[in-house]
Amino acid sequence: MCLIIAKSPNQPLKENLLFNIMESAEKNNPDGIGYMYKRYNGDLAKVFINKKIGINSIEDTINEIRCLKIEEKDELAVHLRYGTSGEKNVNNVHPFIVDSESKEILRIFGATNHPCIMHNGIFHQFTVNNSIFSDTYYFVKMFLSKYNILYEPKKIEFLKNNIFGNKLAVMYPQKDKEMAFLGTFFCEEGSFRVSNKFYNTEKKKEKIWYA
Q: What is the pLDDT of residues 63-74, one digit of tens each?
A: 999 999 999 999
pLDDT tens, position by position, 105-137 = 999 999 999 999 999 999 999 999 999 999 999
pLDDT at 4: 98
pLDDT at 209: 41
Percent of residues, the chain, with pLDDT higher than 70: 95
pLDDT at 34: 98
pLDDT at 211: 43
Distance between CA atoms of residues 98 and 130, nearest Å:
23
CA-based angle 205:68:24, to the nearest 5?
20
3-state secondary structure at position 44: strand
Q: Output the average pLDDT for the chain.
A: 91
Q: What burial class does residue 144 get, using C-beta atoms within 10 Å of its C-beta: 0-12 exposed, 13-18 middle, 19+ buried?
A: buried
Instruction: State pTM to two decimals.
Output: 0.93
Backbone angles phi, psi at 68, to 5 degrees: -70, -25
